[in-house]
Each structure stands twice: as structure tokens, then as C-alpha cells.
Amino acid sequence: METVKLTIDNKHIEVPKGTTILQAAKQAGINIPSLCYMNLPHLDQEHKPGSCRVCLVEIPGKRTLVPACVIKCTEGMEVLTHSMRALNARRTVVELLLSDHPKDCLICPSSGNCELQKLSITMGIREISTVEHAAVSTYRKDASPALLRDMDKCVMCRSCETVCNEIQTVGALSAINRGFMAVVAPAFEQDLTDSPCTFCGQCVAVCPTGALTAVDNTSHVMRALADPNKYVVVQTAPAVRVALGEEFGYQPGTPVTGKMVAALRALGFNKVYDTDFAADLTIMEEGSELLDRITRYLNGDKSVRLPILTSCCPAWVNFFETNYPDMLDVPSTARSPQQMFGSIAKTYMADKLGVKRENMVVVSVMPCIAKKYECQREEFKVDGDPDVDYSLTTRELAHLIKIGNIDFQSLKDEDYDRHMGESTGAAVIFGATGGVIEAAARTAYELFTGKKLEKVDFEELRGLEGIRTATVDFNGTPIHIGIAHTLGNARKLLDGIKQGMYNFHAIEIMACPGGCIGGAGQPLHRGTDVALKARMAALYKEDFNMPIRKSHENSEIIELYEKFLGKPLSEKSHKLLHTHYFSHPKQ
């Protein structure tokens, strides 16, 4: 490999030809601040519009300062990253960015998580000398059921645009207009709700400021908790337990399940249940549907639609309703675990507890922003009352615990409440890409072959590659499985199927990178995949340590079918646990 030698701040270094100054400095342990630069190596996406000019560095002898994120290293180059000239220029750049930026940092939803705020603090900016009476942007705010778009706070880094168009191929957002009028918006400046936005929220996950944020439901939940007439139950998704700790100083991938349950109880929730229970239930329904379709297909029924697609991910559901309205009969009709939980909680569990439906409030804690939209869908309401009332993100739960003045680290581990709190290893891995289909395979194998599955781990289904394919042996019958995460990869896989490139029986799709562990409601990682890998490893470890690792062996699930539902795909199951899809072609 051809290399070049250069000095950065008098440090001699050698880097491969084509390396940018920013990358070279990073290798040499020198930090150059940046704002618009975004590197997502696990998604093979480097975003460097060179627009913010925060990474300016000095090259002695050169007339102008240069942006380190785009300028490539050359032989013998000398770079100064903290000369007075560079420092002053960077400071001016940040002052100019702040000049028309709202100064309501104290109450901004991104306060404490804002890259612009961090730069301002680091640079010690206490007044903005460049512009005294600059106009502050006043663009209308766009509120959807899941996302908020406040373009007054946009710094035009356009990271959201790259994620929305290149990684997710959703194409809801683009930079429009120019100069001071420039904002990021859907076509014709329509609202996000009317655009092809899937509410996956990956734009929120990369937004360096408070321009794109998630709808905050903490105050609604606090009001419900304070109401003596309300019986408030909570469910926590599998991916939350391995990420929540990051908000309290734990290393990524530290499971904090017991402390989380204790914290929720301390906050005053009447019952603390596990979405994992509903994940096991999902496997019972979705796995049975998969078996039914495969069996009918193998028996020669040509009307069967294969492959079956998973339907747990609400952003993915929005994506196919918008982009593949001709394929609405292909995905499984099983509702997502969040919705199955809500439906069972407000029927079976409400009865068991002697609580009236109208007095029960179901809260979910999800790694996801799209879940906020999902729980508001009309088909998941009974006479206007939603099965799941409020969905919180992992970040919101962390806030709630802090608001509640609870010392998280000193909490003693507690266990979930019974009857909707037991779960298996199969449910835990729902949080990682490939996990749902692995869980389904464990159950489907035993139901299909009637034999005991000896090797529970399907390693061939795991990993972080964007599109994975594997064949699982069902006692002589090969079952072809496809897996995709990110909506861009989902599109590739679906277009491939349309063109007859693949021949799958079942496909799992998750909208976010890495699956739910990389959800937009998780503690923010902006660009690194270290947290993602750690969270994933933690989930598989939890699964490995579980005494029961197959959904159909969950004793509370067995009890639920015996006492309430009958059997999978029964009439009652169809009414409570299945759904249908709508055609929403949008541009």
C-alpha cells in the first residue's frame, strides 16, 4: 500500500495515501473538533460535506485554512491543528453558527446531548461578538406522532439527509432553499406525516443538535402515575436492558435488567412486565403462521405467499405500506410484541387483576421512536382506547429515573411481575438483527419435525452484515432464510425477490442498524459501532444463560393459551394478536 509521511502538530506520522487530515489526526491521537462530519464505518458511509468549517486547520505557507475532514494528506505536509490562527477561525465559525441559533439551551430537548453545545462549552464562548442583533430563524415546527422537526436549530450538516436517503432509502428529507432560508424538509415542505417518513428516527440518532428530536411522553406517564384512579403497568423491550446502563455511567453492553425493574417499581408502576413475554407470544403466532404457509406450500398449494416477512418492526411496516403496496399480503399478520402485550394486558391481565380497561394505562419502554406512532394506529384501539397508551424510549426512561430522584446504581436487582413477566432466551435476542428469525426457527423446528432441537444456537443467522442468508436444516427439509437490517438493505432484498433472485421461505427485517439495539430511542452513539457490538454480545450472553431458550416452553405462555387463547392462530388469537396492513403510497 502506498503511504505518505506528514507531521501533525510536530508529530511525525505515516498514513495510507488518500487518508484525510482528520482521519490521520485521529490515528495519531489528536482530536480535531467537527460538527457536520459523520463516519458510520459499520454501514460503509462516510459523510463529509465540508460545510460547517469547524475542523479548519492551518498548513503553514498556505493562504487559507483548510477543512481537515475533506483535505487529503500529501507527502511532507505540515499541519497545525491548534495554532492561534486555526483556533480563532474555529471560534468565529462556531460564533457564526450560534448567531442565528435559538439560545434556549436550558430547556432544549437535546440539552446535554448537543454537539454544538459541547463545542460552545469547549471553546468557552460566553458572548457572540460577531453579530449583535442577528435575526433568529423562525421556521414553523413540524410535529408528527413520533418525530419533531425544529429547523431553527438545524446547522445544515445534512447528516439526516444522508441517513434518510443513502442508508434507509426512505427519501423523506432533503436540504431545500438556500442561504438563511435553507432547511431540511420533505418535498414541497409538507409535514413529515404526509411524507414517506417511516418514523425510524435514524435522523434523530445522527442529528448533532435539537433540530430533529423524538416526541417526549414522560410528562403523560408522570401524570398517569400520579392519578390514584389509574392502574399503570409497564413493559420493557429486550434491547432496553443492555443499553439503559449507558445513561448511568455503565459500559455499553452492561445488562441492568434487575436495576431497571427496581427503578420502575420505585417510580410507582403498579406492575412491571416484560415485552419479552410478548416476544415469546409473537413467536407462537408468527412461527405457527410460518409453519402453516410452509406446510401448505410443500403440499403443493401454489396460492401460498412465500417468503413470509417478519412484522415486529413498525418502521419496516410503514416502509412496505408506503413502498410496496402490492406486497401487503406477504408479511406475517402477527402484531409486534409491543402491541400483543397491550392487547393481552387490557383483556386477559385486566380481568385477572380485576382492573377495568378504562382504568388501566399501559406504558412501553422501547429502543424505538416508531413505536410511538405504532401505538397510536387506529387498528390498535378498542373504541378509541389504545392497547398501549404511551411509548417511551430508553433515553426517556433514563430521564424519568433521574426526574424521580432515584439513585440507579445503588438499586438492588428485582424481578418482573408474574403472568406477563416470564421470558425465554428466544425472546431476549429479539433485540438484535437475526434474533427474531432465530427464535422462530427454534420453535418452528420442534413443531415441524416433532423432535427436540439439540443445538439451540443458530450461529449462521447472527452477525452485523447488512444482508445475510442462511439455510437451516429442518430434519431433511432445507429452510432458506434471509435477514436484512436498515431499510436500504430491506429494499435491496425485496427488489431481489421481485426479480426472482432469491428463493426464501422466511425473511427478517429490522429498520435500524444492528436491529433494535441500534434503535433511534437508545442512548446516542453517533457514528461508532462499539456500543452496538457490545449490546449485541450482551443479548446473546443473556440468551445463553437463560434456563429456557425456546418460546413454546415459556410456562406463562403455555398457561395463557390453556386458560385464554386456546391455540395459536385461533379465532381469539386472530382478533387480539393479528392485524392487517394498509396501502399508503407516498412520495
Partner 1 sequence: MKKFELNDCHKKTIKEICESFGNKRSELINILHTTQEHFGYLPESVQLEIALNLKISLASVYGVVTFYSFFTMIPKGKYPISVCLGTACYVRGAEKIVETLEKELKIKVGQVTEDGKFSLDCLRCIGACGLAPVMMIGEEVHGRLEPEMISDIIKKYE
User: Which residue, 122 or 587, is less far from partner 1 as judged by CB?
Assistant: 587
Among 21, 173, 212, 506, binds partner 1 (CB under 8 A): 173
188 binds partner 1 (CB under 8 A): yes
Cα–Cα separations (whole angstroms), residue 294 to 21, 451, 520:
55, 17, 34
Nearer to partner 1, 377 or 586 (CB): 586
Q: Of the candidates 13, 55, 108, 172, which one interacts with partner 1 according to CB under 8 A?
A: 172
Q: Minimal distance in Å, beta carbon 173 to partner 1?
A: 6
Contacts within 8 Å (CB) and 24+ apart, 302-309: 305/329, 305/330, 306/504, 306/505, 306/506, 307/480, 307/482, 307/497, 307/502, 307/504, 307/505, 307/506, 307/507, 308/332, 308/505, 308/506, 308/507, 309/506, 309/507, 309/508, 309/509
186 is an interface residue for partner 1 by CB under 8 A: yes
Instruction: Point out the catalytic residue in the list 58, 246, 247, 286.
Output: 286
Which listed residue (7, 27, 174, 570) binds partner 1 by CB under 8 A?
174
Q: Which residue(s) pair with 40 in the sheet?
A: 45
Q: Minimum Å distance from CB 164 to partner 1? A: 8
Nearer to partner 1, 186 or 527 (CB): 186
The answer to whether 61 contacts partner 1 (rule: CB under 8 A) is no
CA distance 100 to 322: 36
Contact string 127-166 vs partner 1 (x = CB under 8 A):
--------------------------------------x-
**Pairing label, strands 477-485, 467-474:** antiparallel
312 catalytic per annotation? yes
Which residue among the candidates 288, 332, 343, 423 is catalytic per the annotation? 332
Tell me how far apart the alpha carbons of residues 136 and 97 are, in angstroms, rounded to a whole number: 11
Radius of gyration of the chain (CA): 25
96 or 187: CB nearest partner 1? 187
Length reported for the chain? 587
Among 73, 154, 200, 312, the one annotated catalytic? 312
User: In what order do the strands lie in the sheet containing 271-274?
Assistant: 271-274, 231-236, 360-366, 390-393
Q: Which lies closer to partner 1 via its Cβ, residue 171 or residue 258? A: 171
Beta bridge partners of 39: 46
Q: Binder to partner 1 among 12, 63, 103, 178 (CB under 8 A)?
A: 178
* Residues 150/140, Cβ–Cβ less than 8 Å: no
The question of whether 321 is a catalytic residue gets the answer no
CB of 98 to partner 1, least distance (A): 24
How distant, in Å, are the alpha carbons of 79, 94, 377, 586 from that of 183? 34, 18, 29, 21
Which range touches partner 1 (CB under 8 A), out of 24-32, 167-175, 341-349, 411-419? 167-175
174 or 570: whose CB is closer to partner 1? 174
Give the residues across from 392 on adjacent strands: 365
Active site residue 55: no
Nearer to partner 1, 163 or 565 (CB): 163
Active site residue 374: yes
**Smallest separation (angstroms) from partner 1 to the CB of 188:** 6
Q: Does 217 help bind partner 1 (rule: CB under 8 A)?
A: no
> Toward partner 1, which CB reaches closer, 325 or 463?
325
**Is residue 203 among the annotated active site residues?**
no
Question: Closest separation between CB of residue 171 and partner 1, Å?
Answer: 2
User: Is 391 noted as a catalytic residue in this protein?
Assistant: no
Q: Is 170 in the site for partner 1 (CB under 8 A)?
A: yes
Contact in structure between 550 and 424 (CB atoms under 8 Å): yes
* Position among 50, 145, 171, 463 found at the interface with partner 1 (CB under 8 A): 171
DSSP per-residue string spanning 423-461 = --HHHHGGGSTTHHHHHHHHHHHHHHH-S--S----GGG
Cα 280 from Cα 554, distance rounded (Å): 7
* DSSP strands (E only) in 145-270: 147-149, 174-176, 183-185, 212-214, 231-236
Contact 540, 297 (CB under 8 A): no
Q: How far is the CB of 191 from partner 1 (least distance, A)?
A: 13
Judged by CB under 8 A, the stretch of 26-34, 175-183, 276-284, 354-362 that binds partner 1 is 175-183
Spatial contact of 116 and 209, defined as CB atoms under 8 Å apart = yes
**Does the annotation count 508 as an active-site position?**
no
Residue 187 makes contact with partner 1 by CB under 8 A: yes
Q: Is 555 a catalytic residue?
A: no
3-state secondary structure string, 107-146? Answer: HCCCCCCCHHHHHHHHCCCCCCCCCCCCCCCCCCCEECCC
The answer to whether residues 71 and 28 touch, using CB atoms and an 8 Å cutoff, is: no
Which residue is catalytic, options 246, 247, 374, 438? 374
Does position 176 interact with partner 1 (CB under 8 A)? The reply is: yes
Nearer to partner 1, 177 or 555 (CB): 177
Where along the sequence are the contacts to partner 1 (CB under 8 A)? 165, 170-178, 185-188, 195-196, 587
Residues acting as catalytic residues: 286, 289, 312, 332, 371, 374, 379, 516
